[in-house]
Amino acid sequence: RLPLILDHHDNKLTIPDLDSISNGNTDSSDELKRTALAAANRSYAPYSLCPSGVSLVDCDGKVYRGWYMESAAFNPSLGPVQAAMVDYVANGGGGGYERIIGAVLVEKEDAVVRQENTARLLLQTISPKCDFNIFHCR
């Protein structure tokens, strides 16, 4: 059976050496990376098999997340950065998009459906000072 979009998903994705790089120290970039990875693991991409997740942080340090939700028709699919923006608006980001200061995208390096260019363009347009980073998972 094909899982439904609202079913719990665990894509079992990992970022190589994620734990060894931080040496037990956690900072905001580690938290963003882990949050984006957790979002990618919730991603619903049964057709392309290209799960991805995004985490955002605002100037108050609050973290928001979103994941790719795929439609069989592809064009109405919701990208992870758009989903993270919904979380931002719904959960306290009413001060404006310029308050987003950091973003992390996690996606597969060999993904056929890639989110990097769309995420970069959107973030540059609405929050030009946002520090955007991409990490590849397996």
Question: In the prediction, which pLDDT does 38 show?
Answer: 98
pLDDT at 10: 93
pLDDT exceeds 90 at position 54 = yes
Phi-psi region of 76 (alpha: psi -120 to 50; beta: other; left: phi over 0): alpha
- Domain-located, residue 2: no
Name the nearest CA neighbour of 116 among 99, 97, 103, 98: 103
Is 25 a residue whose pLDDT tops 90? no
Q: In this predicted structure, what is the pLDDT of residue 97?
A: 94
pLDDT at residue 1 in the model: 64
Note down the domain range covering 112.
Answer: 18-137
Rounded CA-CA distance 54/32 in Å is 8
User: Which residues have C-beta within 8 Å of that of residue 63, sequence separation ≥ 6?
Assistant: 31, 32, 35, 55, 56, 57
pLDDT of residue 32 exceeding 70, the answer is yes
Does residue 16 carry a pLDDT above 90?
no
Q: Which CATH number does the domain housing residue 66 bear?
A: 3.40.140.10
Distant-in-sequence, close-in-space partners of 38: CB < 8 Å, separation ≥ 6: 53, 65
33-42: average pLDDT:
97
Spatial distance between the Cα atoms of 67 and 47, rounded to a whole number of angstroms: 15
For residue 3, the model assigns a pLDDT of: 67
What is this structure's pTM? 0.89
Quickly tell me which residue has 């979009």 as its tokens. 5
- Indicate whether 101 belongs to any domain: yes
So what's the pLDDT on residue 26?
Answer: 54
**What percentage of the chain carries pLDDT values higher than 90?**
74
Query: How many domains does the chain fold into?
Result: 1
